[in-house]
Structure 1
C-alpha cells in the first residue's frame, strides 16, 4: 500500500481510506508527474492521484454512492491539497 517514496499526502489518503472503509485492497497511485505544468499542478508533486479500493462497505451501493464514500473520507484534502482524484471502487468479488 505504501513504500519509502510515498509522500505525506499519499500516506494521508492511504490512512484515511483504510480507517473509513477497511479495504481488502487499496492502491493509492501518485500520478502528479504526468500532470506537471498542467492546470492544478501546484508544484508539490502530490496533486493528482488514482485510487483503487475494494471494500465490503461498497456492497449493494451504486458507483456514485461508492465515490461519495471515498470523497467524504478525503473531503478536506480534496478541498485544499488534491486537485484530481480518479476512483475505482469495487465490492469484494467484483471484477
Structure 2
C-alpha cells in the first residue's frame, strides 16, 4: 500500500467509526527512516480526532477504540501510532 493509501485508509476507518468533528492523520514515517520498526514497511502515524464518541471515556479506552477501529491496519500497515483523541470541548493535553 502506498503511503497516501495508508493515510487514506486510516482516515476512512476513523471517519466511519467516530464521525469526528476534527480529524487529522499525519504520516510521520519519514522521521523514522532506518528505525528497526520501519524496516518491515509499516508506517508511523499521528492522529488527532475530536468526537462525541469519546465523551466519558478514559484515555486508555479511547486509544483502544481507535485501535479497534483500525482493525487489521494495526498489524499490516501501522507500526507506531500517536493518538490525541478528545471529546468536543476538551483541550488538547
Where does the alignment leave 5 or more consecutive residues of structure 2 unmatched? none
Q: Which runs of 4+ in 1 moved over 4 A?
A: none
Figure out how many residues of one structure are paired with residues of the other and give that number: 89
TM-score, normalised by the number of residues in structure 2? 0.90
Spell out, residue by residue over 1:59-78, the C-alpha distance to the aligned partner (whole angstroms, 9 max, x if none): 00000111111000112111
Query: Which has more helix, going by share of residues?
Result: 2
Where does the alignment leave 5 or more consecutive residues of structure 1 unmatched? 1-5
TM-score, normalised by the number of residues in structure 1? 0.88
Residue matched to 1:3: none
Q: How far apart are the structure 2 equivalents of 1:81 and 1:63?
A: 23
Q: CA RMSD in A?
A: 1.4
Spell out, residue by residue over 1:53-94, the C-alpha distance to the aligned partner (whole angstroms, 9 max, x if none): 110000000001111110001121111111000101000000
